[in-house]
């Protein structure tokens, strides 16, 4: 669900939407670095990556992919997992942090949509709608358990060293596998599940 149609339809709305969406991938990476720092690895802090400054994070190609195709990436926050107090917990918590951040941003956007009930098609509605949808997509995308995505590191945290080695060997071919999985539509059930859970919780909070 890219934004290219919005660019031609309403350039102002495109600009208004682009800013929170770019910050969605920045916050994703910042969350990785912050949790790693709390668990004993100061690498991201030393390199100035615990910052909301977009210059520190944005990758030109990844940002363009986000705005055109609906999923993208920032420059990965460097993490030295050997510095973490507990390697297995670190793999799970650090790798999950960005996904959790995207889910929380999607929840916030859907919550504000329900609370404010903006006019469909208006600027507020458009910003919140795209922010919710793309954060859910980013969370689902990063949960794919294929290197180099976060899902693979989460899986490693629960796996034997032999299985971890097998996953690591997939990394040179990872993006080809991921593209194939995306083409097969593997994200749609997960995206629908996340959206259902979030909307269900909001319906409880705001009956």
What residues act catalytically?
29
CA nearest neighbour of 99 among 44, 138, 128: 138
CA 141 from chain centre, in angstroms, equals: 7
Nearest-angstrom CA–CA distance, 193 and 87: 30
The structure tokens 């709305």 sit at 13
C-alpha to C-alpha distance for 53 and 72, rounded to whole angstroms: 18
Nearest to 67 by CA among 159, 139, 152, 137: 137
> What is the spatial distance between Cα 160 and Cα 139, in angstroms, rounded to a whole number?
25
In whole angstroms, give the CA distance from residue 168 to residue 72.
22
Please tell me the distance from the alpha carbon of residue 73 to that of residue 22, in angstroms, as a whole number. 9
140 by DSSP, 3-state: which? Answer: helix
End-to-end CA distance of the chain: 29
């Amino acid at each position: 669900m890219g934004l290219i149609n919005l660019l031609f339809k309403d350039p102002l709305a495109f600009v208004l939407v682009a800013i929170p969406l770019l910050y969605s991938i920045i916050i994703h990476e910042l969350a990785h670095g912050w949790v790693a720092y709390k668990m004993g690895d100061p690498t991201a802090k030393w390199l100035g990556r615990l910052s909301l400054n977009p210059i520190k994070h944005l990758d030109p190609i990844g940002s363009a992919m986000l705005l055109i195709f609906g999923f993208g990436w920032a420059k990965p926050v460097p993490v030295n997992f050997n510095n973490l107090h507990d390697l297995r917990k670190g793999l799970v918590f650090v790798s999950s942090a960005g996904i959790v951040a995207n889910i929380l941003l999607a929840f916030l956007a859907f919550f504000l949509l329900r609370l404010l009930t903006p006019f469909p098609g208006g600027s507020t509605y458009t910003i919140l709608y795209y922010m919710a949808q793309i954060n859910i997509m980013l969370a689902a995308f990063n949960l794919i358990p294929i290197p180099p995505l976060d899902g693979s590191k989460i899986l490693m945290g629960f796996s034997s060293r032999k299985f971890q080695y097998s996953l690591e060997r997939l990394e040179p071919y990872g993006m080809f596998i991921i593209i194939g999985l995306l083409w097969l539509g593997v994200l749609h059930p997960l995206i629908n599940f996340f959206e259902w859970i979030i909307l269900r919780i909001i319906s409880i909070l705001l009956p």
